Amino acid sequence: MLSPSELTQSLKSESNRLGFALTSCTAAADVVTMPHLEGWLDAGMHGEMEYMQTRRDAYRHPRSVMESVVSVVVLALPYQTVAPITDQPLSGRIARYAWGTADYHDVIHKRLKQLCKFAQALDADIITRGVVDTAPLLEREFAQKAGVGWAAKNTMLINREIGSYFFLAALLINQPLQYDAPFAADHCGTCTACLDACPTDAFVSPKVLDANKCISYLTIEHRSPIDVSLRPQMGDWILGCDICQEVCPWNRKPDPMGETVFEPQEQLNPLSLLELFDLNDDEFRARFRKTPLWRPKRRGILRNAAIALGNEANPDAVPALVKGLNDDEPLVRGASAWALRQIESSLARKELELRQSIEDDEYVLTELRGTYSSG
């Protein structure tokens, strides 16, 4: 049987070989930020993410994920590659983490499985479980306890060497390890760049994010129509948002460290929007099934694309938006109606009038009339 020190060094060496940039260890323990999480949930700041409310008690301790857990191995995988391309006509921005040829969940899960097999091969009594942001585990708290970094004012975890453009994963293990010292300092200081830059004012206060206003949440997790008051502030974001990270001084220093799998696919930095309205469900699935763009599904991405085109108000977008106006999905029709109303075009006005004469969905009718107000 390996000693805690020997087991720790073996795990760290293997995780490094697998491509994780950071590996740190801490004890499985009660979550100290539960009062903050419960207050956040009680205030409804989780939006439509009802799974968080349903699983709220499970967040209290990692044993809800693996009953025999003794230690948590925190792993970091950077994804920053090239600089984003902005201000391209009729295009939409996608958060850096989603540019690549694969969903990061799949990439990390594969490596976690290898790490689990490695650990179990060391001793038959070892039990492990790999986690990538789908289980009720507050990875950022355990990352701070393991010395990876500190919780910033934008709620992201920041490491002094690699900034905040990295994925967090965890390996739960039923063995004691040699634990790293927690990261006790907070190096945000008096800086409020992230809070000031948020277009939708999603930060209620430092370290408190109202998901209902967050562009990342709105474009991915929010499945309903988006509040009209927030649409103009969403700009050209189609999936996710990097603004609060882009303005962070701690992200100016690190060189791109992301692996080739996270480099942008053709036309994802940025994404050409007009062609999206030509894709049916099967075509959309074939193109995006293995990427993060699949999570909001076709209707969510087209809703977001319509809002971005409405914000740009370019008449060249009218033919694509007319296709959206006649889509099978009410969510797409409604967003396309809003977008067409933002564009000075006789064709847009004509199509809106025609659609209103045949539309039977009450929500879409409110968008056609300009009376819809809340999501």
Look up the CATH number of the domain holding residue 284: 1.25.10.10
Check if 133 is active-site: yes
Q: Is residue 187 part of a domain?
A: no
Average pLDDT for residues 43-49, to the nearest whole number?
97
pTM (two decimals): 0.95
173, 196, 228 — which closes off a domain?
173
Give the pLDDT confidence of 340-362 residue by residue, as tens digits.
999 999 999 999 999 999 999 99
DSSP single-letter state for residue 231:
G
Give the pLDDT confidence of 281-309 residue by residue, as tens digits.
999 999 999 899 999 999 999 999 999 99
Model confidence at 267, pLDDT cuts 50, 70, 90, reads confident
pLDDT at 193 over 90: yes
Model confidence at 255, pLDDT cuts 50, 70, 90, reads confident
Q: Is residue 32 part of a domain?
A: yes
173, 204, 232 — which closes off a domain?
173
- The residue annotated as part of the active site, out of 57, 106, 123, 133, is 133
List the domain range (segments joined by +) for residue 356. 273-369
Number of structural domains the chain divides into: 2
Mean pLDDT, the chain, whole residue set: 96
Can you read off the two tokens belonging to residue 309? 């085109």
Q: Is residue 114 part of a domain?
A: yes
> In Å, how far are 35, 62, 211, 240, 346 from 40, measured between CA atoms?
8, 20, 10, 21, 46
d(CA 81, CA 304): 24
Q: What is the distance between the terminal CA atoms of the chain, rounded to a whole angstrom?
A: 57
Predicted local distance difference test score (pLDDT) of residue 38: 97
Percent of the chain with pLDDT over 70: 100
Average pLDDT for residues 110-115, to the nearest whole number?
98
Average pLDDT for residues 59-83, to the nearest whole number?
96
